[in-house]
Every structure is written in C-alpha cells, then in structure tokens.
Amino acid sequence: GAVVSQHPSRVICKSGTSVKIECRSLDFQATTMFWYRQFPKKSLMLMATSNEGSKATYEQGVEKDKFLINHASLTLSTLTVTSAHPEDSSFYICSARGQRDEAFFGQGTRLTVV
C-alpha cells in the first residue's frame, strides 16, 4: 500500500520554542492531507485539513496561529507548533488522501514540551 512518512517520530522541545513536523507521501501525490492530535488513552481528533496550494481548514477550537500548516507541494505538508507549551505535548498524526479517497497514515510524532 501507499506509504506516508512522518518526521520526526519523537521530539522534545523547550517551552516557548517552535517545532516543525513533516508529513510526506512517498509514492503518490496527495492533494489533501489531514492533521490529527491524540492525547493519552484518547481517540484521534482532527485538527485541520491541508490542501495543496491553499490555506488549511481548521476544526473548531484549533488555533490556526498556533498550529501553522503548510502544504506547498503534492507530497509534503508541514505542521509547525509555535511557541509550544507543556499542554501542547501530544501525539500528532498526519494522513494523506489517496486517489481512491483512501486515508494513509503516518507513524505519528510524539511531542514533549518541557
């Protein structure tokens, strides 16, 4: 099946700094990618939908200025957590939409803000 690569898999950053997470579709072009967040023992929550070449669509309650999403090419979307705080510590997961509307997920990024 199609592969979505997410990098880094783990990151620890200091409070107040910014962290960028990359999501790449390795063997297909994805015009649409999705970013999810998952707290411990909770389900995935959709944060935003990223469309190549246009602004991301954010879910209600997600701060667009804090979670910057860029989808500059058909194979890469990035999520930047700006001015990170400990409450931003979470598991972030991206997915890419395939040509037949399938959803392929990345491995996830464990963010810890200290």
Partner 1 sequence: DAKTTQPPSMDCAEGRAANLPCNHSTISGNEYVYWYRQIHSQGPQYIIHGLKNNETNEMASLIITEDRKSSTLILPHATLRDTAVYYCIVRGGLGYSTLTFGKGTMLLVSP
28 binds partner 1 (CB under 8 A): no
50 binds partner 1 (CB under 8 A): no
* Residue 73 or 99 having the CB closest to partner 1: 99
Cβ neighbours of 37 (radius 10 Å): 20
The piece of 13-21, 65-73, 77-85, 102-110 that touches partner 1 (CB under 8 A) is: 102-110
Interface residues toward partner 1, by CB under 8 A: 1, 4, 6, 32, 34, 36, 43-46, 49, 91, 93-95, 100-108, 110
